[in-house]
Amino acid sequence: MDRLRAEVDGLRRAMRSRAVIEQAKGLLMARMSCSADEAFGHLAQLSQHTNMKLAEVAAGLLGVAAPPSSPAVPRGGSPGTGQTAAGRTTAPGLPGTESTGVGQPGAEQSDAGQPGTGQPGSGPRGGGQSRRARAAADRKPEGGRRRGTAPTSRTVPPARVHPAEEQPGTTRTPLDLSSEEAARYHLVAAVLETADDGDDMARLLCEEALGSTEACMVAIALLEPDGALRLVGTHGVPAQVASQWQRIPPQTSVPLTDVVHSGEPVHLPDRAAFAARYPQVDAALMPGEQLWVVPLVDAQGATSGALAVGWPASVQDMSAAASFLGALAQLCGGAVPRLAARTARGALSGDEMWFRALLDSLLDPVLILAPIREAGTESAGASTPASGGTGGDHGGVTDFRIDYANAATVDLAGRTGADVVGRRMTDLYPGMVVSGVFGQLLDVQRTGTPYEGEAEQFIEMVSGHLRSSTMTLRAVRFLDGVLLSWRIHDEDERRAAQFAQAQRLANLGTWQYDMGTGETVWSPEMFTIIGLDRADGTPGPAALADAVAPDDLPAVEAVLHELLTEHRPQTLEFRVTRPDGRPCTVRAAAEAVCDPDGEEVLALRGVLQDVTAWRRTQDALADARDQLAEERGRTATQHAAVTLLQRAIIDVPPPSDPEVMRFAAHYVPAESIAQVGGDWYDRVTLPDGRILVAVGDVSGHGLPAAAGMTQVRHALRGMAYTGAEPAQILTWLNRMVCHQRSDYIATVICALVNPRTRTMTWSQAGHLPPLHVREGAPRVLQTPFGMVLGASSGAAYGSAVVDLAPGDMVLMYTDGLVEHRGADLGRGLSRLVGTVREGCDGELDACVEHVMRHLGTPNPQDDTCLIGFQIPGGK
Amino acid sequence: MPEPYQHEDGQEDEERVVDADNVVERDGWTVVPVRGDLDFYSAPMFAESVRSLAAPGPRRVVLDLADVEFMDSTGLRLLLGVSRDLREAGGALRLAGPGDLVLRLLEVTQVAPLLPAFPDVTSACSD
């Protein structure tokens, strides 16, 4: 067994060195115009002559050819430009970028004049640097000059050129690595990409990169979105300690956190120095006598974590190691995220998947803004021309980068998510900086106090033209950044957009086929789902058959036959062959419209839902659930996220026409963490003038409930827009929930209020009955039949009509209001009726407030939701 | 909050929802005693136990709910799922001795046709 493991380890090491050897071969081939075999021959010869391992020779050769540029530890210098360029210079050394890895070094070196005869240690030379150095110089004369001098022409002797003792610990030192370091650097660059996990990476750094310095400990920590540090890998650290320090809160002052906050490296020559600087911390925490901690830098130049290295007491002062460690930190900063991607299911990815999936189902644009911290205020001031008039100190945050933009994102300039992600707020929205709103965002990040703007005029310059629109902006702190959402106030525009979005979000299309005329009518969404161009017109039945995946065609035909002969509604899930080849699974519900005798089918109609993404979301949620089970420490954040989401999802704007109908809603999320349930409500004016009022409850708590809630709510809204009656809507909705064998059931009341006739037509699915309040007297409405959604696909739904007089109110609620654990549900309902009788003889708002005051104590177990509407007028 | 996870941590017997040791066969029905709360937290364990008990073939199962004090919508969903699975396999599910709270939940959600309830085990196992 052990022998087998040793063999595997040996193989793995061989694979790692091979990357370097291949690169060195490529370089030789390009520069000596020789074959691969000849190049390998050269390498082997060198290896023999120098008595070095082949891999080391190769690494040395690469080091000679393209030494790392001064991979400065991040300073105040403009990270957006200089750091990126520096980061890129490492690319040729990384097997991760295979295509450039072999080709580019040779190409870049073609102007270097002297073909490398491959003597390791003949000194760094970097023709490839000059172009970038010039580019950098354009922006940053001082840095550029520094960078320009070293690599271009001077030949550096094998010994260290810049005794770093001159400026110990500073990172402004021009960083020419010794040739030996340069060789190590390249070897490490190659092997880091092969690390199995964080600990493996720490081991590689310790043994391969720093082994010659006798380093005894390496720890890699990454900055988490909430500001804490997570240990992603350690070597030489006792497991007990590594386990205890898995997550380090930002408030803890230890070398790792200090380095991340300041962006400056920390060097502690001995334990006495450690004890002096960190009196609270046991100096024996990190093994070793001498400690160097340097910041990790990601590809964008932002500080992403820290790298700590320890040496035993036997090692002399390592002050001079600053430059080499800086270079390693940069490699590491680039390699760690790739490692996370490679080893799938990084701790964060699960969260991001579900969170983004949910954001995508919202109707309003939402941006996740990640803070950009720029140490050194002078350069921060330069790159963000105006941080508003709010002063400089925002905990170091000077700007935001858009990390994610949900599907609904369209900004004032018409840019969608893809256009804005990765860009800076100050670049995208200079108007916000001028108006001071940007300053508000910084305040939100700093204080955690949400910003809820009034409707205000926003102006942005769009390709030379000023565009303005009235918008309401809302921002809340999310983890370490900000969640920003807005809504445009143009009623018509919004309503049309909402309809399209509701259909789009639920991926729901409607269709009808007239048997007599053979005419087919499709909603626009149908074209999107099937992948056809609307301009080509609605396809006939034959063309449609082509769209069904061949394997599923018999099933579709069987269902059609059943529909035509039995006239019973049908549902079916099948795959669609889209012209663009994108895989697509749809769920179809269809029914036959018969003549009054029920004999002849006049038309077929139904809805079609693209469930491809839903399936993916389900998978993502399953992953997220696994993650949840593993990561209990994060529950507080998740509770906040779910609550926030729920608020965002059920955020319903006040009616723009209170003279037609008043509306009030009160919603209290469950008191205890992660109990937040799936309560939701909706109110929207439909194109025909009727008003949809709906309330519902999805079983379960937390994320799955939130996902079910968005699904049901959006699908219901989309169906309501088709003009269908409540009973029909619930029938469709139930068939969908059943057919997808969802892991939830859902209760719902769906009511359509006609303000002209003052009637409410409503249906329900297993929900508690609404109260009809006339002149202060409540009446529990008789519920039409209708089973909870998701119980049985054959369930039927009745409906009832209520005549409303001016002043009448209707109250709907979820079980959190009347049901407390251990108490009887029936008694809860009587209590509600009693409470309403005492204090609802007047305005709706007062009534809802009265009820919530008496019954709406936060229920620790469940959400509490109460909504109501009132017909204006009356006494 | 970590309540739901306590189950996974293997909290002992009192957390167990299905009393697997006291399952009995009676007049062709498998009577499964259930106790405690049938809710969001006990759901995973409940589903697992019932699935293993009712596993092979067209079983006819009576869930004895006399000792169930609380059931929420997640619990209801599970009962519906078990009922559906049994029905599709040619079996059946009945509830015996549900308390007022459970009865009220069945009534509000109008699922009585899918989950027939009987006052006690004896009446549930008749016929």
- A704 interfacial to chain B (CB closer than 8 Å): no
> If you average pLDDT over residues A847-867, what whole number do you get?
78
Q: Do A767 and B108 touch (CB under 8 A)?
A: yes
Q: Which strand (E) or helix (H) includes residue A520? A: strand A520-522
Alpha carbon of B29: minimum distance to chain A alpha carbons (Å): 23
| Amino acid A787: pLDDT | 93
Domain boundaries, chain B: 13-124
Q: Please name which of B34, B46, B37, B44 lies closest in space to residue B5, comparing C-alpha atoms.
A: B44
pLDDT of residue A383: 38
Q: What is the ipTM of this complex?
A: 0.77
Q: Which residue in the block uniquely carries the two structure tokens 């997220």? A: A624
The overall average pLDDT reported for chain A is 71
Q: A493 or A446, which is more confident? A: A446
Residues whose CB is less than 8 angstroms from the CB of residue A698 and which lie 6 or more positions away in sequence, other chains included: A677, A678, A679, A680, A705, A708, A709, A712, A744, A745, A746
Lowest average pLDDT, out of A87-101, A468-482, A627-641, A694-708, goes to A87-101
> Residue B109 is nearest to which of A629, A743, A766, comparing CB atoms?
A766
* A787–B77 C-beta distance less than 8 A: no
| Nearest CA-CA distance, residue B65 and chain A, Å | 16
Q: Are strands B29-38 and B24-26 parallel, antiparallel or unpaired?
A: antiparallel
Q: In the structure encoding, which two tokens stand for residue A780, read together? A: 């529990």
Touching check for B20 and chain A: CB below 8 Å? no
- Closest chain B C-alpha to A575 CA, distance in angstroms: 25
DSSP of A757-770: TTEEEEEEESPPPP
Model confidence at A461, pLDDT cuts 50, 70, 90, reads low
A18: CB partners within 8 A, 6+ apart: none
Which residues of chain A make contact with B109, given a CB cutoff of 8 A? 745, 747, 766, 787-788, 791
CB contact under 8 A, A786 and B104: no
Which of B5, B77, B113 is facing A699, going by the closest CB pair?
Answer: B77
**Which position has the higher pLDDT, B114 or A660?**
B114
- A786 to chain B, closest Cα gap in Å: 7
Interface contact flag, B1 A821, Cβ < 8 Å: no
pTM (whole model) above 0.90: no
Is the Cβ–Cβ distance between A345 and A623 less than 8 Å?
A: yes
Say yes or no: B108 contacts chain A, CB-CB below 8 A. Answer: yes
pLDDT at residue A434 in the model: 78
Considering A704-708, A810-814, B99-103, the range whose residues carry the highest mean pLDDT is A810-814
Mean pLDDT of the region B26-40: 85
In chain A, what residues touch B70 (CB-CB under 8 Å)? 821-822
Residues 260-279 of chain A with CB under 8 A from chain B are none
Q: What is the pLDDT of residues A335-375, one digit of tens each?
A: 777 776 655 433 333 345 556 667 777 778 888 888 887 65
How many CB contacts within 8 angstroms connect chain A with chain B?
A: 75
pLDDT digits (tens, 9 = 90+) for A286-330: 778 888 999 887 766 778 889 999 988 877 777 777 778 888 887
- Domain B13-124 part of CATH 3.30.750.24: yes
pLDDT tens figures, A221-277: 988 877 888 888 888 888 777 777 888 888 888 888 888 888 888 888 888 888 888
Q: Does A798 touch chain B (CB under 8 A)?
A: no
Strands A777-780 and A771-774: antiparallel
Select from A193, A23, A17 the least CA-distant residue to A104: A23
pLDDT at site A86: 35
Position with higher pLDDT, B112 vs A135: B112
Q: Tell if the CB–CB gap between B8 and A639 is shorter than 8 Å.
A: no
Chain B positions in Cβ-Cβ contact with residue A824 (cut-off 8 Å): 100-101, 104
Say whether B70 and A672 touch across the interface (CB within 8 A).
no
Residues of chain B found within 8 Å of residue A674, distances taken between Cβ atoms: 1, 4
Inspect the interface and report whether the beta carbons of B70 and A822 lie closer than 8 Å.
yes
Give residue-wise pLDDT tens across range A37-59: 777 777 777 766 666 666 666 66
Q: Is A788's CB within 8 Å of B111's CB?
A: yes
> Chain B residue with minimal CA distance to A749?
B109
Question: What is the per-residue burial (b if ≥16 Cβ within 10 Å, else e) of B40-78?
Answer: bbbbebbbebbeeebeeeebbbbbbbeebebbbbbbbbb
Beta bridge partners of B93: B61
Flag whether residue B10 sits within 8 Å of chain A, measured between CB atoms: no
Q: Side chain identity at B20, as an amino acid letter?
A: A
Query: B101 CB near a chain A CB, below 8 Å?
Result: yes
Where do the H-state alpha helices sit in A789-840?
815-818, 825-839
Query: What's the pLDDT score for residue A29?
Result: 62
Contact B108 A825 (CB under 8 A): yes
Highest average pLDDT, of A523-537, A650-664, A803-817, comes from A803-817
Type of residue numbered A34: C
**Taking a C-beta distance cutoff of 8 angstroms, is the pair A611, A735 a contact?**
no
Contacts of B69 in chain A (CB under 8 A): 822
B107 inside 8 A of chain A by CB: no
| Chain A positions in Cβ-Cβ contact with residue B1 (cut-off 8 Å) | 635, 639, 672-675
Tell whether A822 is within 8 A of chain B (Cβ). yes
Which of the residues B46, B84, B108, B111 would you substitute to probe the A interface, choosing the one with the greatest number of A C-beta atoms within 10 Å?
A: B108
Question: Is A640 at the interface with chain B, CB within 8 A?
Answer: no
Buried b / exposed e over A88-125, threshold 16 CB at 10 Å, is ebbebbbbbeeeebbebbbebbeebeeebebbbbbbbb
The phi, psi pair for B26, rounded to 5°, reads -150, 120
| CA of A628 vs chain B CAs: smallest distance (Å) | 10
Q: Is B118 on the interface with A (CB under 8 A)?
A: no
**Number of Cβ atoms within 10 Å of the Cβ of A463:** 7
Taking an 8 Å cut-off on Cβ atoms, the answer to whether B77 and A635 are in contact is no
Q: Which residue has the higher pLDDT, A500 or A162?
A: A500
